């Protein structure tokens, strides 16, 4: 498929799946228009890159449905002066999207091969404000904490205090949590050192892998 056709499909994705479902922040829409989602997907699935569902990327992991990525990013109210921690780099697609909306992205991926692959693609696509490490996302990235925002792309059984603790005061985290068939998306906020959380959606994410 030619780049012009991918571009047409990407435009339709943004109009129908993102904007069409109520996400109207122009910066977010521009980010989705500018990130070539198909590049982050295995070659044999690229003709399905802009469809309205998740796709496998190997290692029992997926690239999330475009709308869910948009919903999560929108809930965080992005600002280009903020630093964000991403847990679950995966394909690197969401990493690319948030890199256009935040000053600096710190991303943690537990699978070494996925971390290497995402870093390679992001470098080739010239995203320059991203720092990726292979490691246990359950532990966050304490070295660079606190973070203004945290976005989590895999579901622990419960919201880890290790991540909430790495939020800056006034910060927000969007995270799925729960067992496989009973997951919910939560918006976590820290104000004056106090953590609160609110349920947003029923979701289905791959489980968070954790090394004790």
Instruction: Enumerate the active-site residues.
Output: 64
Q: Tokens representing 211? A: 């090394």
Q: Tokens representing 206? A: 């791959």
Cα angle: 62, vertex 206, 70; to 5 degrees: 65
* 99: alpha, beta or left? (left if phi > 0; alpha if psi -120 to 50): alpha
CB atoms within 10 A of CB 157: 13
Strands 104-109 and 130-134, bridge-based pairing? parallel
């Amino acid at each position: 498929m030619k780049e012009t056709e991918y571009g047409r499909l990407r435009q339709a994705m943004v109009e129908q799946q993102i904007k069409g479902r109520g996400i109207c922040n122009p910066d977010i829409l521009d980010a989705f228009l500018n990130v070539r989602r198909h590049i982050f997907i295995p070659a044999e699935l690229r003709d399905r890159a802009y469809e309205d569902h998740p796709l496998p990327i190997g290692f029992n992991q997926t690239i999330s449905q475009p709308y869910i990525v948009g919903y999560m990013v929108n809930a965080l109210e992005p600002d280009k002066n903020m630093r964000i921690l991403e847990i679950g780099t995966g394909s690197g697609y969401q990493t690319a999207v948030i890199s256009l909306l935040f000053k600096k992205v710190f991303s943690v991926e537990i699978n070494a091969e996925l971390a290497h692959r995402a870093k390679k693609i992001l470098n080739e696509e010239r995203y320059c404000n991203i720092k990726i490490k292979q490691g246990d996302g359950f532990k966050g990235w304490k070295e660079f904490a606190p973070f203004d925002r945290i976005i989590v792309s895999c579901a622990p059984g419960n919201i880890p205090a290790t991540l909430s603790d790495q939020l800056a005061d006034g910060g927000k985290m969007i995270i799925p949590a729960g067992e496989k068939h009973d997951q919910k998306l939560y918006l976590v906020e820290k104000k004056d050192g106090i953590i609160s959380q609110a349920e947003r959606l029923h979701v289905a994410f791959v489980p968070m892998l954790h090394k004790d």
